[in-house]
Structure 1
Amino acid sequence: MTAPSQFDVKVAILGGGTAGLAAYRAAKEHSDSVVMIETGPYGTTCARVGCMPSKLLIAAAENAHQYEKSAAFGVNLGKPEIDGHAVMQRVKSERDRFVGFVLESVDSIPSDHRIDGRARFVDQHTLEITAADGQVSTLTAERVVIATGSRPSYPAPWQELGDRLVVNDDVFDWDTLPESVAVFGPGVIGLELGQALHRLGVKVLMFGVGGVVGPLSDPALLDYANKTYGDEFYLDSDAKVEKIQREGDKVLLGYQDKQGEYQEAKVDYLLAATGRRPNVDNIGLENLSIELDQRGVPVADKYTMQTSLPHVFVAGDASNQIPLLHEAADQGKIAGDNAGRPSNDIRAGLRRTSIAAVFSDPQIAMVGEGFREIEQRLGKCGCFEVGEVSFENQGRSRVMLVNKGLAHLYGEQGTGRFLGAEIIGPNAEHLAHLLAWAHQNQMTVAQMLDMPFYHPVIEEGVRTALRDLNAKLHLGPEMIDACMECGVGS
């Protein structure tokens, strides 16, 4: 709806994405005086430009790859012919279908609870809303939930590339596949899209900094990932790129290759997958006395989503926490619930074990605490151990010809508690769920080994890593006392 010139509400929610929608539903359980303010199209980042369209592109790539590797099974299908137009037509058609489901949910919200416009804080409780036609209205809210999402971020000079510079949002609007792409950023988005495009016949060059691949922090898994993906397409995760400039309808790159030799290449597009920036830099936070982190993002309590201003909550990609859909939904529900409650009844919400997956091949998954986090907490006194399994000789993996990967599981000395895992390997998305359930239930490694494992399944690799970990752990009160300084058992 178009907002009246001035009005009051109990809860104002800035943003109508995954977190904003969850916050609206939760706040509505307590009050009917709730509005959701959205500046752009509804449909959520996940459905429009994130999880769903990327998985559609990956599904096409996986189909082509399976076709190519069929000869190894004695099934000779030859090289697949990729119809780039048909690939992108299906991606866009199914993407629009998923967006439609979200829009149906939005349409069920009363129109007087939805405001189209850009909101900005004027003071602690006052928001100025500017509609697309320039009309300005003023809203006073007892509580505010900031759920403004995020946007792709990249170095400003790259804008000189014009339409040769794309982000993941743009990829899903292509009518057909290009011949070549340079991907900058082998993180989750870059790795997924880059490998998918490569398998669909696009020449891909991928560049990163610091040797990082995906969300991995374990040095052994990073080495494995760099080699495995680098064997399939050009990947330099610690690149030295000396030249990026537009030449006609191409992008000219000058870089030192992995052997230290200077190379030049022309590509159709530079795909910037260098991270996302929370959309909190233009909502008037400077007019609030609110605590911000080093990125200028409001600091929120993990369990209540409350900021240093008791009446302001933050959720989703706009927060200083994990930017994933299921996290955004959880955060939105907590923030909206607390925004709707009386000020003396703020409650801690359910926070689940951290879980993340990268839908590359082999897949990458993270569960609980990662290696870097555990090393910082327990490494100084040697109070954790690592269990390992390679999938290269794991039975079911070899049968299916998906025998690439390495998994590290981490356990706590003294208590034997399972702390987390980093995985690169087949079916990592499924292995991660088993491990996340164990972690959330605070199981020990020994208890996890008591769980059933069928044969032959890829999950048996988890048991191998658990056995390796269990053999290395030293349990009992003496070890707990020795590691107490590091916070074992906390």
Structure 2
Amino acid sequence: MNDSSTREVDVAIIGAGTAGMGAYRAALQHTPRVLVIEGGPYGTTCARVGCMPSKLLIAAAEAAHGAAHAAPFGVQVGGVRIDGAAVMQRVRSERDRFVGFVTASVDTWPADHRLRGWAHFVDAHTLQVAGEDGRTTRVSAQRIVIATGSRPQVPAAWRTAAGDRLIVNDDVFAWQTLPDSVAVLGGGVIALELAQALHRLGVRVRLHARSQRLGPLTDATLQRRAREIFGAELPLTLGASDLRLQRDGNGVRVHAGGRDERFDWVLAAVGRQPALAGLQLQHADLPLDPHGVPLFDRRTGQVGDSHVFIAGDAHDETPLLHEAADDGRIAGDNAGRFPDIRVRPRRAPLAVVFSDPQLMIAGDSHAQLVAAGRHFETGEVSFDDQGRSRVMLKNRGALHVYAERETGKLLGAEMIGPAAEHLGHLLAWSVQRGDTVQQMLDSPFYHPVIEEGLRTALRHLQRHLRMGPPPVERCLDCGPGA
């Protein structure tokens, strides 16, 4: 039996995740000679181990938390019992359903457009693909799209110390039931979402972070509010520069911040990194940054001036599903039409953390505006006494909106508070359209809704800008920030 074969294609795409699938569809508009190479299971990071299973776990946690805290509404609920096995059964079942939608889509592709195996560069136009069956395939491609995604980042010392009691977020969604205790290491999005969800589902949790930051917010005032709000509910050890792990039987002792606590599991959630290690990029003659990530143009996906393109989490610039989908479409389109490279406009930035309260950044962050030297003013609102938020007992947090001093155009916003996922969309749309603060204030605001808090922040911002007519007085019967 011949254990090797050769393929010649116009476009080879390495990776069949969100970015790879988008690249495939776009490249097909220009040529039928497209090949997608995938070594792992089909199904995107989002569907398998990211967005969807984490939101399923969070939904269960919100249900438990709501039942346990219904008394202030005059609703008496008996003792809340959490069935860990049932929680994880639903998480896995629904997760598998979402993954099924993705794999069903891939199954409709022609067989000769799919190749199973792990690829690496032999030279600038040649890939060698090692299949699970031991067969190798040489792929000669006129253009190549790198869409290999990302993998969890775990310090080697932690793996050595904790052994098989250390897990990453990918592993959480394979649990058959909820554990008794988990130490979460990290202060970013994944760490915060999972730590709070597990805590609300009755798992003993402590979140440890080396820095004082919690979540992605860059506005110092909002960061402080985030630490206060989450610290009131969730055990935190921030600034844990002395973090050390020690295996203790079937558990792990975590030494940090003067504490010594034993947990059943350690969840490493300190971020993800591009999955590029096996590609042997040194053979492709590509420009790389100091971390070995190809240097590329975000508007085209093109690496340098080469025939190679990159998309999605493989470059780790904006590791979000909607950005990966856009990346894939842009890179695939340009790979398909190469050398006729087209510059594509990008959407306004939008990022959401599904904690409670939620976190959001729309448009440019405070740190980005400061770094760019932009002249901007800030409008603020606190949700502590905002009408609709107080009605729902969701009155925690604040919103800051930023506008250009000279023109009054909205530049960005940061928020911790209720319905941030929805306000974030409204604000990102306004940034993308180039709305001014006055144009936003001229739009309708219903009563009573959380969006009235946005109006309060915009009015505050307009006063700082000293542009347009004086703000209309707010409803005197509705409370601050109504």
* Matched residue, 2:46: 46
Alignment of 1:388-407 (within 5 A): 388-407=380-399
| 5+ residue gaps, structure 2 | 469-482
Distance 1:307 1:45, change over 3 A: same
User: Which of 257, 269, 275 does residue 265 from structure 2 map onto?
Assistant: 269
- In the aligned structure 2, how far is the partner of 1:350 from the partner of 1:50? 27
CA deviation string 1:278-334 (max 9, x = no partner)? 011220111122111232111211111111142100000002420000000000000
Does residue 175 in structure 1 map to residue 176 in structure 2? yes
CA contact (8 A) 2:188 2:269 kept: yes
User: Which of 418, 424, 441 does residue 426 from structure 1 map onto?
Assistant: 418
Give the letter aligned to residue 208 of structure 1: A
* Matched residue, 2:479: none
CA contact (8 A) 1:299 1:320 kept: no
- In the aligned structure 2, how far is the partner of 1:98 from the partner of 1:347? 33
- In the aligned structure 2, how far is the partner of 1:47 from the partner of 1:138? 30
Q: How many residues align?
A: 466
CA contact (8 A) 2:9 2:140 kept: yes
- In the aligned structure 2, how far is the partner of 1:403 from the partner of 1:79? 25
CA deviation string 1:31-70 (max 9, x = no partner)? 0000000010001000000000000000000000000110
* Matched residue, 1:232: 233
- What SS class does the counterpart of residue 89 from structure 1 fall into? helix
1:163 CA displacement? 1.8
| 5+ residue gaps, structure 1 | 257-261, 477-490
- In the aligned structure 1, how far is the partner of 2:394 from the partner of 2:212? 25
CA contact (8 A) 1:417 1:444 kept: yes
Distance 1:263 1:236, change over 3 A: closer
- What SS class does the counterpart of residue 100 from structure 1 fall into? helix
CA contact (8 A) 1:17 1:149 kept: yes
- What SS class does the counterpart of residue 414 from structure 1 fall into? coil
1:474 CA displacement? 4.8
- In the aligned structure 2, how far is the partner of 1:25 from the partner of 1:224? 44
* Matched residue, 2:309: 313
Does residue 444 in structure 1 map to residue 436 in structure 2? yes
1:263 CA displacement? 2.0
- What SS class does the counterpart of residue 277 from structure 2 fall into? coil
Alignment of 1:342-357 (within 5 A): 342-343=338-339, 345-357=340-352
* Matched residue, 1:190: 191
Percent of aligned pairs sharing the same letter: 56
- In the aligned structure 2, how far is the partner of 1:242 from the partner of 1:22? 41
1:4 CA displacement? 6.1
- What SS class does the counterpart of residue 277 from structure 1 fall into? strand
CA contact (8 A) 1:414 1:475 kept: no
1:162 CA displacement? 1.9
User: Which of 406, 418, 422 does residue 414 from structure 1 map onto?
Assistant: 406
Give the letter aligned to residue 322 of structure 2: H
* Matched residue, 1:377: 372
* Matched residue, 2:127: 127
User: Which of 451, 462, 467 does residue 459 from structure 1 map onto?
Assistant: 451
- What SS class does the counterpart of residue 123 from structure 2 fall into? coil
CA deviation string 1:134-168 (max 9, x = no partner)? 22221110000000000000110111212210100
* Matched residue, 1:488: none
CA contact (8 A) 1:388 1:409 kept: yes
Give the letter aligned to residue 100 of structure 2: G
* Matched residue, 2:274: 278
CA contact (8 A) 2:49 2:169 kept: yes
CA contact (8 A) 1:413 1:474 kept: no
- What SS class does the counterpart of residue 134 from structure 2 fall into? coil
- What SS class does the counterpart of residue 321 from structure 1 fall into? coil
Does residue 292 in structure 1 map to residue 288 in structure 2? yes
1:3 CA displacement? 9.7
CA contact (8 A) 1:12 1:143 kept: yes
CA deviation string 1:368-418 (max 9, x = no partner)? 100110011226xxx211110100100000000000011111111111111
1:241 CA displacement? 3.5
Distance 1:112 1:238, change over 3 A: same
